[in-house]
Structure 1
Amino acid sequence: MGLFRKNPNEVAYTGGEKHWADVIKNSGPGELLIWRQPEEDFNTNSTLIVMPGEEAIFIKGGTVEQTFDNGTYKLSTENYPFISRLRNAFTGGVSTFNCVVYFVRKAHSVEIRWGTDSPIQVRDKMLGIATKLRARGAYKVQIGDPVKFLEKLIGNNVFYQTQEELNKYFISEFQSKVKSVIARAINESNTEILGIDSRLDELSDTIEPFMQEILDDYGLKCVKFTVAAIDIDDDELRRRYDEIGVEKLRNAQADKAVMGILGDDWGKQQAANILGNLSMNPGAGGVAATGAGMGMGMAAGGVFGNMAQQMFAPMSNSTPVQQPQPFQQAPSGRFAQPTQGNNSPTSSNTSQEDPMEVLGKLKRMLDAGLIEQSEYDAKKAEILSRM
């Protein structure tokens, strides 16, 4: 065994040994956030090359000597050719003037995906029931303070070099903040949980400052934080909303059935509703007041008059009661008062109408709840008595 043993760190050098002056540049994989260059204890006047998007940290004697942006530099160390080999003979070949270079990636990281490992407990404001949510998304980081990052996360022999390793380190703190902010936002909102996807951008912007607060202590910047989706992890909530949807569909189908009886024109339905109210207020004044109330954008006078003539005019054959006259719409859009005069009796027109058609209309009005059963029976008996 020779006296001048080789420094074991020299195995990383080209050819397996140090040279008079070496070139130090990043040889690590591109996906790493930080890389410790394996060539250590290099001789003084060695050349350091830092590429764009990188920053180099030169550590000498266990302290940060200097940081370097992209460019080419000469490094000054306490290691010299021949002299270092002689000096290291007393320490088993290991240099007492250790020096090393770390290369830090300054470019933005690729997206680091995250997701909640357990459900977020919230209460749906619409249904008033507790439910469970899961959130997922991604974020990007950038090393803002390489020295702080090195001191806090790397140390001497502890490595968080990859983005995935970094995510594992922060996941507990991240998830705590994410769950807290999402739960608070939903509990303070009056909207249903099913509409939470419309607020993803808002939630992302709200959570990002909390993430930045965590990363600041480690020399990192949160470039972008995104909540990609919030999934409902509760079958009971889906079932309840499905029931509400089915109920709304049934109500819509029922409304459609009523419209099928009354006709597609909504104005006709409103006129028919007013006609039903006349059974409780048959006076001419009530008719005029009711007709005036229909004047908001609907020419209901003619509709009401025609239905009144067809349904109730036959009663004039037995009892000479003055019939309300059809409303005429004035040019200004207001309903004019009924015209007075000797109008021809409507019974002659009704007598020519098919009794089956009249009875059919009465039956549809009864089914729609516009007239009472007693009114229907009386009119039916009256029409049948004239046949």
Structure 2
Amino acid sequence: MFFRNQFANVVEWEEFRDDMIFWKWSNKEIKKGSKLIIRAGQDAIFLHGGRVEGIFREEGDYDIDSQIIPFLSTLKGFKFGFNSGMRAEVLFVNTKEFIVKWGTRNAINIPHPQLPGGIPIRANGTFNVKVSDYIALIDKIAGIKSSYYVEDIRLRITSVLDQLLMEWITREGKDMFNLQANAFAISNGIREDLDMSVTNDGLSITKFTVMSFNYPEEIQKMITKSASHTMVGDLGKYQQIEMVNGMASGKVQGGGTASDMAGMMMGMNIANEMMKNMNQNNQPNQGQGQGQNQNQGQPQNQGVAPAPQEGNKTRPNFCPNCGTKTGDGNFCSNCGFKLV
């Protein structure tokens, strides 16, 4: 005795994985009473004889006999027999946009006039890919494959990526030692070329990003050193800042040689600055102070100061007799007083 739905089956994506781009339900006969299950983020495409019969995008459970077959292009009038079913394939497509990491397999030697062998550069980043054309996807990929993974598209992209990186770095990399500054233009150019290479297969590269360019260690050290010298115009000030930061952070401390030398250098610099400031402040007031001291006790209208002490051979900045600023001579240019 046979039950009505004894041969009924459920058509669904049985092996759903987050890294699967599509999966094909095939080699099974759909019986009367069978159901189709479409989950969120999936589209179901009915195929018969390699031809697309219908595309279903709304998630839910469907009775194939009453809700699916009436919408199939050439199978609208199909009737299930008691023991016979419908031979068909159902392609489930993951509709999400995949974010895929990439990295260069080997260092790319970018030509440079100062380096005969070129600059070996590695790079890494991400690209976004999604299915954009079901007909092309079935014609070029799904027609011969039962499933397709993110890893498959990643391997395909990276196989041509080295060549595209060299082309766009050479075109947009005006400063080979600071490629990150042109990463946006390089990324856009590569995305357009990659998208053109996969569009015939029903795929689309919606975004391509270069996260970083990596140089050999010796070149990176040279770039870092050059950048630090460029950023710090006053090397002396840079050394002072570094010493202060080191002592403030505790990296330069204790009684070791580094601490002693840092303290000595800071002390010398501070002393030099203090002496310089004192000389600058005292220079214009020195003569005025001497004139005031020398003129104490004398009538204001005379302006006569006592002669310098005997044995003092230093030429004063102002005449002790009349207060006139002295020059290079041994006598005052105003009153003739002997200065030395």
Identify the TM-score tier after normalising by the shorter chain.
Answer: 0.5 to 0.7
Question: What residue in structure 1 maps to residue 152 of structure 2?
Answer: 165
Match of 1:41 in 2: 29
Distance 1:24 1:244, change over 3 A: closer
Q: Structure 1 residues 153 and 145, CA, compared in 2 at 3 Å: closer, same or farther?
A: same
Q: 1:79: Cα distance to partner?
A: 6.9
1:174 aligns with 2:161: yes
1:105 aligns with 2:86: no
1:75 lines up with 2:69 in the alignment? yes
Which has a greater percent of helix? 1
Mapped partners of 2:42, 2:228: distance in 1: 60
Provide the C-alpha distance between the structure 1 equivalents of 2:68 and 2:207, rounded to a whole number of angstroms. Answer: 37
Q: How does 1:6-155 map to 2 (within 5 A)?
A: 19=6, 21-31=8-18, 32-38=20-26, 40-43=28-31, 46-71=34-59, 72=62, 73-75=67-69, 80-82=80-82, 84=84, 98-109=87-98, 111-122=99-110, 128-129=114-115, 130-155=118-143
- Cα drift, residue 136 of structure 1: 0.8
Contact 1:134 1:231 in 2 (8 A): yes
Whether 1:203 and 2:186 are equivalent positions in the alignment is: yes
- C-alpha displacement at 1:124, in angstroms? 6.1
Cα distance change on mapping 1:303 and 1:177 into 2, 3 Å: farther
1:81 Cα deviation from its structure 2 partner: 3.1
Kindly provide the CA deviation profile for residues 217-249 of structure 1, in whole angstroms up to 9, marking residues without a partner as x.
2211223322121110x3442454477589889
Give me the whole-angstrom Cα distance separating, in 2, the residues matched to 1:40 and 1:159. Answer: 13
The offset of 1:104, in angstroms, is 0.5
CA-to-partner distance for each residue in 1:9-43, whole Å, 9 max, x for gaps? xxxxxxxxx84544322222222111111462213
Kindly state the Cα deviation for residue 80 of structure 1 after the two structures are TM-superposed: 3.0
- Would the aligned equivalents of 2:38 and 2:58 in 1 still touch at CA under 8 Å? yes
CA distance 1:244–1:67, change in 2 (3 Å): closer
3-state SS, counterpart of residue 117 of structure 1: coil
Deviation of 1:152 (Å): 1.1
One-letter amino acid of the counterpart of residue 237, structure 1 = I
The amino acid of 1:218's aligned partner reads: D
Aligned-partner Cα distance in 1 for 2:111–2:185: 19
- Does the C-alpha gap of structure 1 residues 80 and 172 become closer, same or farther in structure 2, counting only changes over 3 Å? same
Determine the structure 2 residue equivalent to 1:237.
219
**Whole-Å separation in 1 of the counterparts to 2:209 and 2:222:** 30
CA distance in 2, matches of 1:176, 1:83: 57
State how far apart, in whole Å, the 1-side matches of 2:214 and 2:44 are: 43
2:68 counterpart letter in structure 1: K
TM-score, length-normalised on structure 1?
0.52
Q: Which runs of 5+ in 2 are unaligned?
A: 241-264, 287-311, 330-339
Shift of 1:117: 1.5
What's the C-alpha RMSD, in Å, of the aligned pairs?
4.7
Structure 1 residue 202 displacement after superposition? 4.5
Larger strand proportion of the pair? 2
TM-score normalised to structure 2 length: 0.58
> 1:177: Cα distance to partner?
1.9
Structure 2 SS opposite 1:70: coil
Name 1:310's counterpart in structure 2.
Answer: none
